[in-house]
Structure 1
């Protein structure tokens, strides 16, 4: 059993680490300008770090976004920023959020709030001056931690303690929190997969399942965004060990057929997984021999760009593979017609979905990644002049025949071969 002395030094060590790294934000970013602008606006005005950045520092993770909270109203925040010549935009002002921009760094500043009316999707809010009141409307204790720029924590719901203990705890009554915004069901899954060191509380699971129908009232965009965060937080790496989270995800996203795709990856597959973006990883999980991927893309309103990418992989997955499919000659052809990104997607898909290491596929990928795209050597203008051709169907047909011959001849074509094709 851990001694009291060990516990004391563990707590002290973590607090020192947190304080040092919160102070370090001022060194690594331009955030001090915001603290000076807000804190000097009036005798009572104050700016604090909040939410994800504090949670990640406590858990010794890399910070990607810096979220800030203030007891000023959005109008006063705007005035404070203008007074200090700090650029900003107000796209989230209806929710109390203003985004400040300093040297291309973005900082979201949100006024303290309290919920007046909630409907399971959105909340009607009023601005507040009370830090505890703002904390009380947040979802989990681990997201209700604030800090000044010196690293002094304001932690009314003991979120730091819960992070260190790997405990995901709703603030107040779990069912009330869920009914305020049903997306919190998915957020619970995300944070549980990421941080929990404990088993699910059966009372929380019961309340989640009772309210699962509320998910249907949420927009596909919000659901997809939360799924993106789950995948990018590496939350599915050990999903088979958490049957409860897996069940909830399957109920919400039944088209995700291969939820455990990212478990027990070999070293090479793991590297692909960690470097891949959301649309590629989504493709791995939803593509099968049916129209499952098409239905998911329709249901969740996937962007046209991502649809094109997923559909390309889906078509390849359904195509017949023969001994020539994964040869250098065939893949260089695909590289020319389909582009490097598409061909590398095919190879990464093959590597990631194959539990065994296929050195041939890996070698092909490395070769193609560094290969320049072949350039068709025949220019239309020169062909027209030399062979007295004019724009039209005949010219287009000749160019297509020349290109096909060039590609099938390993991207080589001689003058005699050009003459024979054009004059035929």
Structure 2
């Protein structure tokens, strides 16, 4: 008999069960001998967030699996979110059915399946009632190389949980609300702890990206910045070089999520202390103190990941090198280059009557569609809360004169038209964008 000692949060309606493993054989629960200490914890979850998942589509999928006597449970991050009182944006499912068995079930029922690349790892995506349901067969990793895994399908829920990265991501939730937790994930979630399943070093060596997933989830779960599992940090430091084998795109996905989570300032500093930067494309002499300053100033204003990360860069070359390693988007690269170039220049060109004027003039002169958005990120970087609010509410005025207006006045030289337009634009800016088309054109003959 397993004793259950955890306490449920007051917002949940739960029922606890003592579980005898010997009674679970028909459900796929078989005692196994592993190097991971396991205790099955079971509870019943009934919340409005959980109940809201049961659409016509999910009910239809659930009926099919039940009819063919295969178990279907919610898996991974969706369970973590539901236990935290959140409705998950994405819900993944796990099952004892193999991919071939799932395809047979769906084909017989006339359920459409969406082609994807995950079938060799056990994932089938079914579409029912205009919803997609991604269902993955329980599996074990037979062999890994730090990036990819050779898998074998199983009906053992514990074995599947054992291969997952963090305890808080290794739980399953039955469609009746029963939580199945083998590695104290629920307790860790309640205590806001982030731990690897079993051996931290082994989990990391199976997929080195888990180093960054640790940081990302620490930012989502932990209350305090420095309450790490010492074994986890040691394993991360010992295996830091493994990140060199991970694609830049995968690194960037995790890094972006970490940068906009809690404790990003602490986590960036920790990555440097653990010697991760050199394997991620980050500058070796990154300005960590500047990142910490920017994050403290901007964190409540929903900054873009690049806004925070730009604090590390000492020059535009650092942005270029990051792009070479992480393959960031053109928009993200341009944002980084913009912030590095203008984070000091615009703030050092104040106007006593209008503090926003240097920023406004930049937007007017740039004529780029995203110039105002870039300036808003710059103001977040600089910690200018009041100016940020004003900029968000500022409607960019349209320069009222065009080359067509000048041609109608008899000016036909392209060079002359360009010169006249620039002079009129400067005049319009000095008027704080108040001069009308007629007022501006009245000055053409005097220019």
TM-score, scaled to structure 1:
0.79
Helix, strand or coil for the counterpart of 1:157?
A: coil
2:424 aligns with one of 381, 402, 410? 402
**CA displacement, residues 382-424 of structure 1 (integer Å, 9 cap, x when unaligned):** 443x224558444444434433332333221563642542685
In structure 2, do the counterparts of structure 1 residues 212 and 243 end up closer, same or farther at CA, with 3 Å as the change threshold?
A: closer
2:13 aligns with one of 12, 16, 20? 16
Q: Does 1:330 align with 2:358?
A: yes
> How many pairs align?
402
Q: Does 1:277 align with 2:304?
A: yes
Q: Does 1:219 align with 2:244?
A: no
TM-score, scaled to structure 2:
0.75
Shift of 1:27: 2.0
In 2, the alpha carbon distance for the partners of 1:145 and 1:345 equals 38
1:232-243 matched pairs, under 5 angstroms: 232-236=260-264, 239=267
Helix, strand or coil for the counterpart of 2:324?
A: helix
Alignment-derived partner of residue 50 in structure 1: 75
Shift of 1:173: 3.3
Alignment-derived partner of residue 36 in structure 2: none
Helix, strand or coil for the counterpart of 1:69?
A: strand
Q: Contact 2:240–2:274 at 8 Å: present in 1 too?
A: no
In 2, the alpha carbon distance for the partners of 1:264 and 1:305 equals 20
Helix, strand or coil for the counterpart of 2:74?
A: strand
2:136 aligns with one of 85, 100, 110? 110
Alignment-derived partner of residue 36 in structure 1: 60
Alignment-derived partner of residue 229 in structure 1: 257
Alignment-derived partner of residue 308 in structure 1: 334
Shift of 1:301: 1.9
Alignment-derived partner of residue 401 in structure 2: 378
In 1, the alpha carbon distance for the partners of 2:265 and 2:86 equals 17
In 2, the alpha carbon distance for the partners of 1:247 and 1:345 equals 29
Specify every segment of 5 or more residues in structure 1 that has no aligned partner in the other structure, as ranges. 1-6, 352-360
**CA displacement, residues 121-176 of structure 1 (integer Å, 9 cap, x when unaligned):** 11122333332222222122222111112211122333223323444443343332
Q: Contact 2:123–2:137 at 8 Å: present in 1 too?
A: yes
In 2, the alpha carbon distance for the partners of 1:159 and 1:138 equals 11
Q: Does 1:164 align with 2:190?
A: yes
Alignment-derived partner of residue 4 in structure 1: none
Helix, strand or coil for the counterpart of 2:378?
A: helix
Alignment-derived partner of residue 90 in structure 1: 116
**CA displacement, residues 20-49 of structure 1 (integer Å, 9 cap, x when unaligned):** 55663342563x523532541452223211
Alignment-derived partner of residue 145 in structure 1: 171
2:91 aligns with one of 47, 53, 66? 66
Alignment-derived partner of residue 26 in structure 2: none
In 1, the alpha carbon distance for the partners of 2:400 and 2:290 equals 47
Alignment-derived partner of residue 379 in structure 2: 347
Helix, strand or coil for the counterpart of 2:395?
A: coil
**CA displacement, residues 318-348 of structure 1 (integer Å, 9 cap, x when unaligned):** 5371333972333322232343212212211
Helix, strand or coil for the counterpart of 1:40?
A: helix
Alignment-derived partner of residue 209 in structure 1: 237
Alignment-derived partner of residue 23 in structure 2: none
Q: Contact 2:303–2:380 at 8 Å: present in 1 too?
A: no
In 2, the alpha carbon distance for the partners of 1:19 and 1:279 equals 42
In 1, the alpha carbon distance for the partners of 2:295 and 2:344 equals 23
In structure 2, do the counterparts of structure 1 residues 22 and 137 end up closer, same or farther at CA, with 3 Å as the change threshold?
A: farther
In 2, the alpha carbon distance for the partners of 1:84 and 1:374 equals 56
Alignment-derived partner of residue 34 in structure 2: none
Alignment-derived partner of residue 356 in structure 1: none
Helix, strand or coil for the counterpart of 2:160?
A: helix
Shift of 1:250: 4.9
In 2, the alpha carbon distance for the partners of 1:252 and 1:21 equals 44
Alignment-derived partner of residue 134 in structure 1: 160
Shift of 1:373: 1.1
Specify every segment of 5 or more residues in structure 2 that has no aligned partner in the other structure, as ranges. 15-42
Q: Contact 1:239–1:246 at 8 Å: present in 2 too?
A: no
In structure 2, do the counterparts of structure 1 residues 328 and 387 end up closer, same or farther at CA, with 3 Å as the change threshold?
A: same
In structure 2, do the counterparts of structure 1 residues 397 and 97 end up closer, same or farther at CA, with 3 Å as the change threshold?
A: farther
Q: Does 1:366 align with 2:394?
A: no
Alignment-derived partner of residue 185 in structure 1: 211
Q: Does 1:257 align with 2:287?
A: yes
Helix, strand or coil for the counterpart of 1:314?
A: helix
In structure 2, do the counterparts of structure 1 residues 131 and 347 end up closer, same or farther at CA, with 3 Å as the change threshold?
A: same
Bigger proportion of residues as helix:
1
